[in-house]
Amino acid sequence: MSNGLQVTRAQSLRTRNTFGIDVTTPLALRIGDPARLPEALAMTPDALVLGGGSNLLLVAAPDAVLELANDDITVVAENSDHVDVRCGAGAVWHDFVMATLQRGWSGLENLSLIPGTVGASPIQNIGAYGVEVMERITAVDAWDRQDACWLRFDAADCAFTYRDSRFKHEPDRYVVTSVDFRLDRQPRLRLDYAGIREELATMAIAEPTANDVAAAVIRIRRRKLPDPAVIGNAGSFFKNPIVAAGIADALRSEHADLPVFPAGPDDRRKLSAAWLIDRCGWKGHRDGDAGVSAGHALVLVNHGGASGAQLLDLARRIAASVQARFGVAIEPEPRIIGAKW
């Protein structure tokens, strides 16, 4: 990489998106030094910022892509209780989580094995097993394409909500370059979600550490979710819908086994999208090379040659069937490039 900026023409993105969709972008830029970002964007102002490609559905090829390669981890403040850590946006998320645990810092263990990069984590407000990354983010540094300036957002300015943020609402405006996290020196483990205690019991661990929780989460995820290296997918394709408590209660009165979870301080409830989709008969469904995982109804899969348009059509039909049967709207988690939902 020359002086922190590498330019490639006509680059295939098949290996740069976890769905494995075969499209080619005319121009790809890779930046090792975020200071070169304004220069790169001057070359191609509308470039798609590409991290791990794990939260994208490429229906059409972007005119240009931009990748940040900075992955440094820096301690910016610390005391006996916690440590404030800054990580470059280009770091692989799971590698960052493992690095924090190796250094004795806890707080991200429930988010182990989530695909993608650190820079993408605040955009999506990634979450798993009872933890959302917004609980640990203290600040986000970004370049503002619209006003051509560097900005630093504290956590409140990020407007985090469930699988959402201000960055997601303006996806073409901000380029995240680093993220600050506050992590604990003494673990405060979260064990009450989605089988973590049961997995620890299977592992014969009675008094778990943060590393043990990470290991349990990794085991669960590998068992439940298909490996993108084996079959193309973007993990959970649909968000769990959040509805009024009255709607949730009415559905539970008809379907006693519907999983329902609290959703914030107001009178709202989160429903299991996987359960809704499964009840509509989609698990294991296949149309050509576009399908739904046989192991998890939330996961759309590319069996080899599916296009983004074919996967999008399947997703729309799934959502329509859930709406028709249960009266509940479900929406995609991945960003759709080249089409509207």
Give the residue numbers annotated as catalytic, written as ranges.
163, 236, 333
With residue 166 as reference, give the H or E element that holds it: helix 166-169
What does the block give as tokens for 37?
Answer: 């970002």
Asked if 228 contacts 54 with a C-beta cutoff of 8 angstroms, the reply is yes
Q: Of 55, 1, 56, 59, give the one whose Cα is nearest residue 28.
A: 1
- What is the spatial distance between Cα 152 and Cα 131, in angstroms, rounded to a whole number? 24
Q: What are phi and psi of 322, to 5 degrees?
A: -65, -45
Closest CA to 66 of 228, 176, 229: 176
- What is each CA distance from 85 to 96, 97, 105, 176, 299, in whole angstroms? 11, 12, 10, 16, 32
Residue 155 contacts residue 167 (beta carbons within 8 Å): no
